[in-house]
Structure formats: C-alpha cells, structure tokens
Amino acid sequence: QTIHLADYTPFGWTVRDVHLTVKLSPRATRVVARIHFAPRGDAPAQDFFLHGEELTLLRAAIDGAEVTPEITPQGLTCPVPDGPFLWESEVEIAPADNTALEGLYMSNGMYCTQCEAEGFRKITYYPDRPDVMATFTVRIEGDEPVKLSNGNPADSGAGWAEWHDPWPKPAYLFALVAGDLRNHPGSFTTKSGKEVELNIWVRPGDEGKCAFGMEALKKSMTWDEEVYGREYDLDIFNVVAVDDFNMGAMENKGLNIFNSSCVLASPETSTDANFERIEAIIAHEYFHNWTGNRITCRDWFQLCLKEGLTVYRDSQFTSDMRSAEVKRISDVIALRARQFPEDQGPLAHPVRPESFQEINNFYTATVYEKGAEVIGMLKRLVGDEEYYKALDLYFERHDGDAATIEDWIRVFEDATGRDLSQFKRWYSQAGTPRLSVSEDFSEGTYTLTFRQTTPPTPGQPDKAPQVLPIAVGLLNPNGHEVVPTTVLEMTEAEQSFTFEGLSAKPVPSILRGFSAPVVLERDSAPEERAFLLAHDTDAFNRWESSRDLARDCLVAMVTEGAAPDTAWLDGLERVIRDDTLDPAFRALMMGGPTQSETAQVLHERGHVPDPDAIWDAHESLRQAMAERWQDLLPALAEEARVTEAYRPDAAQSGKRALGSAVLALQTRLDGGKAAEAQFASADNMTLQLSALACLVQAGRDEAALRAFHDQWQDDRLVMDKWFALQIAATTPDKAPERTAALTEHPAFDWTNPNRFRSVLGALAMHHTGFHAKDGRGYKLLADWLIKLDAKNPQTTARMCSAFQTWKRYDADRQALMKAQLERIAARPGLSPDTGEMVSRLLS
Ligand code: ARG
Ligand code: ZN
C-alpha cells in the first residue's frame, strides 16, 4: 500500500496525555494505556482509528464502559463520543519473540524499545503518527533493577518505577529500558544554571567503555549552547547501549538508545575511526533534542527536516572538534560512496520523498546526507549571520510544532527576505545534477560559463534547473590567488559569470569545499589539475585535483591498459612529503579512490565497469606507488609514530592514519614484515587492526587471525571487526568463500544485526569479490537476505541496496543479479519492507 504526501490529513483528535503501565514479562508483557482524547474542530470528519500491530487486545473501555472495537492487522476502529473521552486498553505482547527489533524487544535479557518510525503501534493501540503529540507518564513494573523511560523520574518503589515526560512528544520518541544495567554517571550545568544528571547505561562488564561517550555528550551540550543557543530541558539525560539494534542510535526524549557499537569505546578495543564516529553520533542524537524532538515532523515525508538538519549540525560539531578540512573531505567521500549511487540508480528519490510503502526504507543517504548538503548550500547562499538568524526564528516560531519543509523554507524567506521557491527544488527533484563548465579570457575579462542538467530518475523524466552555489577562486599563473573564494549563484540551465581586471588568464578553482552535491564535468588539462594540487588555497580542491588525476589515471589503466600516471604521482609525492601539512590530510591524499568509486566514475563516463579489471588496475597502481616511494616510506613511518599515551584526538589519529597508509604500501614491498612487527607490539586497536588488515592483504594472516580471535573472542564489538576484516582485506577470489566459511563459524550469530552486517555487509562492500563473475557472491548474499527477512525485515531491506548498481554492469552480471532479486521477490511471505526494496530495484 502506497502512501502519498499529497494525501496528508490531520488526525481528528488531540491527545491531552498518555498514561502507560507496562508490566514486564518476556512472553506476556501487559501494557495498560489510559489516554485522554478530545475532538479537534479543524480536522476533516473521520472514523476513530488507532494503529496497532501484533497486539492481543484484552480489554478496551471508553469513559469506563467496556467497548468491542473492530480489529484489523493494522489497528482498530470504534465508535466514540462527540466530545472529549478517556480511552483505556490493555494489550499483551511478547518482547522475547520480537526478532524484528521494532517496538518492545529483548536484547541479551534486557528490555528495550525502538519506535521510530512506526514501532509504537507494536506496544499499544495509539494514533502512531508524528503530528500527534502528548505528554507521557509511564509506570514500569518488573524485577529488573534498572527501569527507565522518557522525561524525569517521578517516583519508584519495590518492583516499580514511574517516569513523567513534561514535553509533548510523538509516540516515535517513546522509549523504555529495563534490565540489569550499570551506569557511568556524569553531570552538566546548563548556561542558565540548571543541573542535569547524565548517565550512560551498559551491561555489566562494559563500564570501562563509557568515559569517552560521556565526554562527547558534555562537549555536545556545550557546543549546542554556544553555537545554536540551545539548552537541555530535563533534569536527566540517559543513554543506553544495546547490542541488538537495527540502526546506529535513536534520539528518544531524554533516553537515547544506542547500538553498542556507536557508544562503547576504549583504546584497546576501538579504532580512531570508531572514536570519531561515536563522538559524532552522540552529538547527533543529542542535537535531535531540539531538531527533531522540540520541533518534530508533521509526517514521515518531512523526515529530512530533522535528519538533514541534524546531520548538518553534527558535521559542524565534528569540524569544530577536529579538522574542518579533513571532515569535509571525508563527508564528500562518504556522499559519493553512498548517496551518489542511490541518486543515480533505481532507488533514487527526492530528499523529501512524495510516496512510500514502508517508511523504514527511506532512512537513506539521500534523506540524511544529501539533506545535510542542502542545508550547507542554504547556509552558503544566505551567509553565516543570516543562517543563524533564520535558525533562531525557526526555534522561536516552531518550538512545540510538528513542522514541514514549507515551514522551514518560509522561516528562511522571512528571516532573509529571499525568494527560495527555486531553491526548494532541492527537496523535490531526485538525481545528481551534472555541471559542466567552459572558460573564456579576453582583454582582462575572464568568463566562466556553466551548464547544468539532471538526468531522469524513477518517476521524474524532466528536471528543472536548480540553484547551485558554486564557490570559485582564481589563481594567477604564478600560483597566487587573485580572486579569493566567491560564491556564484547559478539559477539557469546555462549561465555565465565574469571576472574583470585580470592581467593574465587565471586558473580557476571551481566548486571549492564541494559547495554543491553535483558531478562536475570538466575536461581540464592534467597540467592544470597538477597546478591546483600544488597551489590551491582550498584544501578540499587540493585534495580533489589529486583525486581527479587519480580517477583519470585509473580510468586509463582500466580502459586502455595505460601505465600509472607518473606526473600525478610526482605532484602527489610533493604533498605527501610536505610535513607542514596535517598528517590526516596527507593520509587522505595517499588513500586514493576505492574500487567502487572507480566503478562509479567509469559508469559516469559511459563505460561498463569490469570489476576484475578495476581490481587489477588498483593493485598495479598501489604497487607502483609502493615501489616509487620506497625510500620515502620509512621516513613517513617515523613521522607517523606516536610516542605519547594513546589519545583518540585529531592530531594523534591523523598520524596513525598516515602510518597505516604507509604500512599498506610497505607491506607490498616486504610481504608483511613491518605489519607483523606492528601487530605484535600494538597496544591499541587502531594499530592492531591496521596491521592485521595488511597481513590479510598479504595472505600472511593465519597466525595473526588466530591470535586476534583468542585475544578478543569475548568482546562482541571487536569480534565484529575480526569477521569483517578477513573479508574486506582479502583477494576477490577468496572473498565469497571466506564469507561462506565465516557464516559457519560458531560465533556467527546471524540474528544480531551488527554481526550479520560485519559478514554479509563486508562481502557486499568487497567490490570485485561481490561481483564475482560466476555470481556466487550475489547468490550468497541473496541466500542470507532471504533467511534474515523472516526474522528481521528492516535490516534485510536495508541490505538489499547492495544490488542498487546492478544495471551498470555487463549483461552477464546484470542477468545474475536480476535472477537473485527475482528469487528474493518470489519468496512466499516476504516482508513488505524487503518486497518494496526489491520491486524498486527491479523496476
Ligand atoms: N532517528 C534515528 C537517527 O538518526 C534513526 C532511527 C531510524 N530508525 C528506523 N527504524 N529507520 O538518528
Ligand atoms: Zn538522526
């Protein structure tokens, strides 16, 4: 059943308050609800309908009189009085049997919830839609020593605890946790002097992995006060780590629930990248308290209203805590890796979709990451000062509202006086715009002419021009910047911009900071790119010019059997040698495109990517780099050595990133000697794991994998890395077999989403291994998706996107992938979640 944005109608009643009593029991939890409804005059007439799924209704009453509602698999209807009334119901549910991990479920003996987007209807009958907001009082009964819900603790006694949340909220922000948990406590004083109790709750044994998350939380609270003027609004803020979780984390009011992989951290068990991600996710969920909770979404089509903005805010936070340049480059790498393929394939959809069957399938890179890019463009267009003025107005005008993208746009129009009607197309048009550029110079006037087109996407054959903020700087032939960064505002399909008074034809640095999420098509001479690599003042474009040269080089290697481009490698070497530059930046420069990125570039340039040829090209390029830089590598390794005690900060992480880039090349020369030494002496997970990756890559991994297993077999999160790495770092011929073998391993608990992803997700991400010519990679993944779908539709549906690029490949591979998709589609009893994904993929 497809739901359309255009069909929105408000619910016919308001909810004054919700009172829940939850009597916990693994297979017979009772939920008693008392809810005050009142009709609202401004809503169209409708039957009284409450959502409810997989509930056993034991009793229902209106104003104390028993009623017998009409029940369907989606919910119930019931005649109700004309005026306000009290609804009471009691249902039974079985959290221990809930393997979908949506609603109330159990993870390692602990009760927890995930209600976004539509999980609350699996807990009790309710108008489960984000525009119905109410205050909640929750009484939890059970023997579990810790019992938590939203808001502030109200009262408790032997075997019960009561919570009251004074802030009206939609049901998707409801949460409940109960179990034998330990807390890592902290506190925070807001800028207006309010004392807030902070806790991170974990399973016994994980207490030592909370300190970093706690610090990240305090930094987030301070940052949101300083940058956005937003203060926390309850007496307590709880964070809980859960092992079985479909997503990263959830911003439930006052009770954030995290996938344990996104909060637990220690130097011995977490990599630098883990630490950075944890800091960002803690911030993201905390920032939702204002952008998501205090101001929520009218309906799920508006998801980007909270997610795009909150991703944008967490990226600003990371930029401030660490290196803004490195963060921007990393974000663009991720956008191109995750969002561009989505936007250019059968799953393409606008940042604000206009229809869906299953909303859980729209928690996508487009809604989140492109949604954040749209905010970044808006900020660049209106300027920092106007941006914060608009945000102040947004919080003032919409606090307590369930808002829309129209509200958001209007706030910016009212605050800045701009007409944003064309800008709004970013929310409604899917697809990645292509931007081409030509230049002209005569008599001191330099002209840049841009052309934009957006290819058709499913359901959108024709696209109108979008507003593109194009950040440009000009350098003179000596390498000096003659025009600093200027934002050109492109609104037409074709548009020229002139720069006067130049003494010589300049070299343009276009799309600085990746100021718009487009594919820039520019056939500039390699010399010009090399010039920018050496001289650009914009770090992003310096990196980008090298990346462009790398892309050209790899495309030539794959399609013409060319040799690696030595001119580019010379230019790159100068940057890598420059020890005045941040090691993290140099590590990014050394990294080069991934194989999927090369496939993407080949596709964008009209070639059919051949995964085996891509593998070979990447291998020979890496080998050429290693040989070329063999005298440089030891000095870089020395520079990358960290002598102080481990800290997961930007400075040390940058050094280790450089060190691991160097080690990967060294391994090609010494067969794994240096990696073995590093593996033996490593006292933190970053060094241990980067060494292990090199050993796997060198095929010298047996002893190391065994040692690593023996050392970490009791640590779930480290074992996820052990599973993933053996697949990720191996050669393509071995990837499917290793994956299959690991699914037989006793520690492969496929019902745990993290473990499932660490094995099958690693296969899907191994470009050449997944695309094995005979289709065994595809078949293996499809077998497991079919198996998982019966237990956990959400995670299954999400992982179907591994097939989203299927139409790019050769006819044989296309046929093999299509056959697997059809096999999944034909399964009797397939979940609606997976059904929708597969049908979109096949359309
Ligand atoms: N709102 C959560 C977050 O970003 C994600 C929850 C997604 N849940 C889901 N079932 N799709 O931060
Ligand atoms: Zn979010």
Quick: pLDDT tens for 482-534.
Answer: 999 999 999 999 999 999 999 999 999 999 999 999 999 988 999 999 999 99
638 CB-near residues (< 8 Å, 6+ apart): none
Å from CA of 285 to ligand 2 middle: 6
Q: Which residues contact 443 (CB under 8 A, 6 or more apart)?
A: none
Tell me the CB-side half-sphere exposure of residue 771, using CA atoms within 13 A: 27
Ligand 1 centroid, distance to 114 Cα (angstroms): 9
pLDDT one-digit tens code per residue, 725-779: 999 999 999 999 999 999 999 999 999 999 999 999 999 999 999 999 999 999 9
What letter does residue 205 receive in the DSSP assignment?
T
Residue closest to 378 by CA, chosen among 338, 319, 418: 418
β-bridge partners, 60: 89
Q: What is the mean pLDDT of residues 309-323?
A: 99
- Dist. CA 292 → ligand 2 center (Å): 8
The atom number, within ligand 1, closest to the CA of 368 reads: 4
Question: Which amino acid, residue 840?
Answer: R
DSSP bridge pairs for 138? 20, 163
Q: Distance of alpha carbon 820 from its chain centroid, rounded?
A: 27
Pairing, β 445-453 against β 494-499: antiparallel
Neighbours of 434 (CB within 10 A): 15
Q: How far is the CA of 314 from the centre of ligand 2 (A)?
A: 10
Residue 285 among the catalytic residues: yes
- Quote the ligand 2 centre to 468 CA distance (angstroms): 26
Going from the Cα of 211 to the center of ligand 2, the distance in angstroms, rounded, reads: 23
Residue 413 three-state SS: helix
> For residue 470, what are the β-bridge partners?
488
CA distances from 42 to 132, 343, 435 (A): 14, 38, 46
Say if residues 827 and 787 touch (Cβ distance below 8 Å). no
- 26: tokens are 């693994």
**Which amino acid type is present at position 574?**
R
Please say whether the beta carbons of 488 and 496 come within 8 A: no
Sort 738 into a burial class: Cβ within 10 Å, 0-12 / 13-18 / 19+.
Answer: buried
For atom 11 of ligand 1, the residue with the nearest CA is: 360
| Structural contact between residues 202 and 186, judged by C-beta atoms closer than 8 angstroms | no
- Output b/e per residue, 350-383; b: 16+ Cβ within 10 A: bbbbeebbbbbbbbbbbbbbbbbbbbbbbbbbbe
Q: How far apart (Å, rounded) are the C-alpha atoms in residues 162 and 147? A: 9
Q: Token pair of 502, please?
A: 């130049």
250 lines ligand 1 (CB under 6 A): yes
Among the bound ligands, name the one nearest to the CA of residue 372.
2
E-strand stretches of 401-501: 402-403, 434-442, 445-453, 468-475, 481-490, 494-499
Helix/strand/coil for 405: helix
Q: Is 360 close to ligand 1, i.e. is its CB under 6 Å away?
A: yes
By alpha-carbon position, which residue is closest to atom 1 of ligand 1? 250
- In the chain, the N- to C-terminal Cα span, in Å, equals 17
Distance CA 360, CA 801 (A): 13
The pLDDT value recorded for residue 686 is 98
What ranges make up the beta strands (E) of 227-357?
A: 236-242, 249-250, 255-259, 296-297, 355-356
Is any ligand 1 atom within 6 A of the Cβ of residue 792?
A: no
Q: Is 841 in the pocket of ligand 1 (CB under 6 A)?
A: no
515 with 485: CB under 8 angstroms?
no
Cα of 27 vs centre of ligand 2, distance in Å, is 31
Containing H/E element for 650? helix 650-670
The CB of 772 under 6 Å from ligand 1? The reply is: no
Burial class (CB in 10 A: 0-12, 13-18, 19+), 345: buried
The C-alpha angle 681, 687, 692, rounded to 5 degrees, equals 85
Would you say residue 151 has pLDDT above 90? yes
Catalytic residue among 53, 162, 285, 373: 285
Q: Do 686 and 652 contact (CB within 8 A), yes or no?
A: no
The predicted pLDDT at position 310 comes to: 99
- Helix (H) and strand (E) counts in the chain: 30, 31
Does the structure show a pLDDT above 90 at 435? yes
Give the mean pLDDT of the chain.
Answer: 98
In this structure, the number of other CB atoms found within 10 A of the CB of residue 405 comes to 24
> What distance in Å separates the CA atoms of residue 154 and residue 164, rounded to the nearest whole number?
6
Structure tokens at 343: 């936007």
Instruction: Note the maximum CA span of the chain.
Output: 88
Q: Return d(Cα 518, Cα 163) in angstroms, integer.
A: 48
Residues in the chain: 843
pLDDT tier at 797, thresholds 50, 70, 90? very high
Residue 386 burial (CB count, 10 A)? 17
Distances (CA, A) of 268 to 261, 263, 722: 14, 15, 14
Q: Which atom of ligand 1 is nearest to the CA of 794?
A: 10
Average pLDDT over residues 321-332: 98
CA of 230 relative to ligand 2 center, distance in Å: 17
Query: H/E element holding 404?
Result: none
CB 118 within 8 Å of CB 171:
no
* pLDDT, position 523: 85
Under a CB-based contact definition with an 8 Å cutoff, are residues 679 and 704 in contact? yes
Phi first, then psi, for residue 36 (nearest 5°) are -95, 115
Please identify, by atom number, the ligand 1 atom nearest to the C-alpha of residue 102: 10
Cα(307) to ligand 1 centroid in Å equals 9
Beta strand 445-453 with 468-475 is: unpaired
Peptide bond before residue 117 is cis, with ω within 30 degrees of 0: yes
Q: Specify whether the CB–CB gap between 128 and 171 falls below 8 A.
A: yes
List C-alpha distances in Å: 443 to 342, 483, 504, 505, 771: 45, 17, 9, 9, 54
Instruction: Give the Cα separation of 9 and 47 in Å (integer).
Output: 13
Whole-number Å distance, alpha carbon 363 to ligand 1 midpoint, is 7
Please determine, for residue 470, whether its predicted confidence score (pLDDT) is greater than 90.
Answer: yes
- pLDDT more than 70, % of the chain: 100
Which ligand approaches the C-alpha of residue 116 most closely?
Answer: 1
Full 3-state SS string of 285-313: HHHCCCECCCEEECCHHHHHHHHHHHHHH
The answer to whether the beta carbons of residues 503 and 444 sit under 8 Å apart is yes
| Nearest protein CA to atom 3 of ligand 1, as residue | 250
Q: What is the mean pLDDT of residues 222-246?
A: 99
367 lines ligand 1 (CB under 6 A): no
CB 785 within 8 A of CB 802: no
SS3 808: helix
Residue range 102-120: average pLDDT?
98
- Which tokens sit at 475? 């350098």
